[in-house]
Amino acid sequence: MSRTEDMRKLAEELLHFKKSPLYVERVANKMLPVIGEGSLSAQIVFIGEAPGKKEASTGKPFCGASGRILDELLASIDLPRERVYVTNIVKDRPTDNRDPSVEEIELYAPFLDRQIDIIKPKVIVTLGRFSMDYIMNRYGLEDSISTIGKNHGKVFVAKVGKRKVKMIPLYHPAASIYNQKLKEDLKKDFLILKNCITGE
């Protein structure tokens, strides 16, 4: 199957993902699942936490306030958003923008694993501690797990099956909305990402 077909199948499964308690809320609130968006042959995959209200009403990841910051950061390193793939671990919106629960992460993570297998990125960028913890635990980096304050902007090498994939944990863009210092850190970390893709 092609990448497009594989992703379409995944999207179809997600649309009918009745096993998830968030599915019931999605349908009741006339919201949409947020699968992910971007190039299926992207070298970089960005992984956030879960969709917010705007994302769940449009079906598009990072299209609200956090998305505007992500767009600004991508523009700061001249990286067009269409060239990357953007997704989340949890694909349905947890009510009232609460943090995703351990159970929700467990339930939705297999979709994320499949997306990584389909796209086969060279670099995985996690946004926030939930996706950082998940990816580090899942892909052989459990010994390097620490706080996001310590790990942000470091380049790790994850084992995804037989492939070695660079992994860079970053702060979640939302954390920088009212914190200028975090915004500066994010900008510096994006330069590290840029070096990572141009320095090959």
Q: Which residues bind ligand URA (CB under 6 A)?
A: 34, 48-52, 55, 61-62, 66, 88, 174
Report the residue number, 55 or 92, with the smaller CB distance to ligand URA: 55
Report the residue number, 57 or 140, with the smaller CB distance to ligand URA: 57
Q: How far is the CB of 111 from ligand URA (least distance, A)?
A: 14
Q: How far is the CB of 13 from ligand URA (least distance, A)?
A: 19
Say if residues 4 and 40 touch (Cβ distance below 8 Å): yes
Report the residue number, 79 or 140, with the smaller CB distance to ligand URA: 79
Report the residue number, 99 or 140, with the smaller CB distance to ligand URA: 99
Helix (H, G, I), strand (E, B), or coil: what is residue 38?
A: strand
CA atoms within 13 A on the CB side of 136: 24
Closest CA to 89 of 142, 44, 35, 141: 35
Q: How far is the CB of 16 from ligand URA (least distance, A)?
A: 21
Closest CA to 97 of 36, 52, 136, 41: 52
Nearest residue to ligand URA, scored by beta-carbon proximity: 48
- Residue indicated by tokens 């860079």: 168
Q: How far is the CB of 170 from ligand URA (least distance, A)?
A: 12
All residues at 6 or more sequence positions from 21 whose CB lies less than 8 Å from its CB, including other chains: 104
